[in-house]
């Protein structure tokens, strides 16, 4: 199939992928690349039922990871992957950054998907190695956002120079901890939840309208269990944004 598009969301620790055929995801998955993806590991993305004619990717990982993926694409599929960059505007979204390209391409793709899902005020949270929170107005104007370390990074930052082993941290709960380990785990979760709730509630107060909150990323399920505001979870949000970007590129060419 030459109309199939392999979509890649390459983060700092994970690669999420999907094969898009005529606007539907035929297959997909994720893998941990650890900063050094092996050619054989990337082969999991090969699908004889839908050999892609294009590869469209967001990559916020180190350049060496991108180079490895490009090598795999050339070796296995004889394709050069198309790397998405954040523009000043497009697909109904207006970038808030003075230098638009500085906005991470994963955040741009998430905003594009968010615009399609939510016509009103909206907030997208991508909870991974970093936790990003981006706000969107009804006209598609990006209102800016926040970036914090991810939950694990918040904990590891505190653990540096201490004798507390990270492996012994409990599953976090949004309540006061009764051991140092629980205090660390719960504190990181509570901090992220508080930021998200504050961002949404502040925008609702300013706009005097409700804000739809959408979660994505590796920690989205955990955050979903503890957030005290209405929200939905869309695990493939960035990939769905990439699919819209890829189809727009074809339509405008």
Instruction: Show which residues are catalytic.
Output: 106
Beta strands in the chain (DSSP E): 4-10, 14-21, 24-32, 54-59, 82-83, 89-90, 93-94, 122-127, 130-136, 142-149, 212-216, 232-233
Q: How far apart are CA 93 and CA 203, in angstroms?
A: 18
Helix (H) or strand (E) holding 63: helix 63-77
Burial of 235 by CB count in 10 Å (0-12 exposed, 13-18 middle, 19+ buried)? middle
Helix (H, G, I), strand (E, B) or coil at 37: coil
Q: What do you get for the CA distance between the two ends of the chain, in Å?
A: 20
Tokens 């916020």, located at residue: 60
């Amino acid at each position: 199939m030459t109309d199939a598009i392999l979509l890649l969301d390459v983060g700092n620790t994970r690669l999420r992928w999907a094969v898009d055929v005529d606007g539907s995801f035929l297959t997909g998955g994720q893998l941990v690349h650890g900063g050094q993806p092996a050619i054989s590991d990337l082969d999991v993305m090969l699908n004889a039922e839908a050999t892609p004619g294009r590869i469209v990717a967001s990559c916020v990982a180190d350049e060496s990871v991108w180079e490895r993926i490009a090598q795999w694409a050339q070796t296995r599929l004889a394709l050069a992957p198309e790397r998405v960059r954040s523009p000043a505007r497009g697909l109904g979204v207006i970038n808030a950054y003075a230098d638009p390209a500085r906005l991470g391409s994963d955040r741009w793709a998430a905003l594009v998907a968010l615009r399609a899902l939510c016509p009103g005020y909206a907030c997208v949270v991508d909870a991974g190695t970093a936790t990003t929170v981006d706000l969107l107005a009804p006209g598609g104007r990006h209102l800016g956002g926040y970036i914090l370390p991810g939950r694990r990074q918040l904990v590891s930052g505190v653990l540096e120079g201490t004798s507390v082993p990270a492996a012994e941290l409990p599953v976090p709960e949004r309540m006061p901890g009764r051991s140092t380990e629980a205090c660390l785990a719960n504190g990181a979760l509570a901090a992220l939840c508080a930021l998200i709730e504050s961002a949404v509630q502040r925008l609702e107060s300013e706009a005097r309208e409700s804000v739809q909150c959408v979660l994505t990323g590796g920690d989205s399920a955990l955050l979903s269990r503890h957030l005290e505001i209405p929200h939905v979870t869309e695990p493939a949000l960035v990939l769905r944004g990439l699919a819209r970007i890829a189809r727009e590129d074809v339509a405008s060419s």
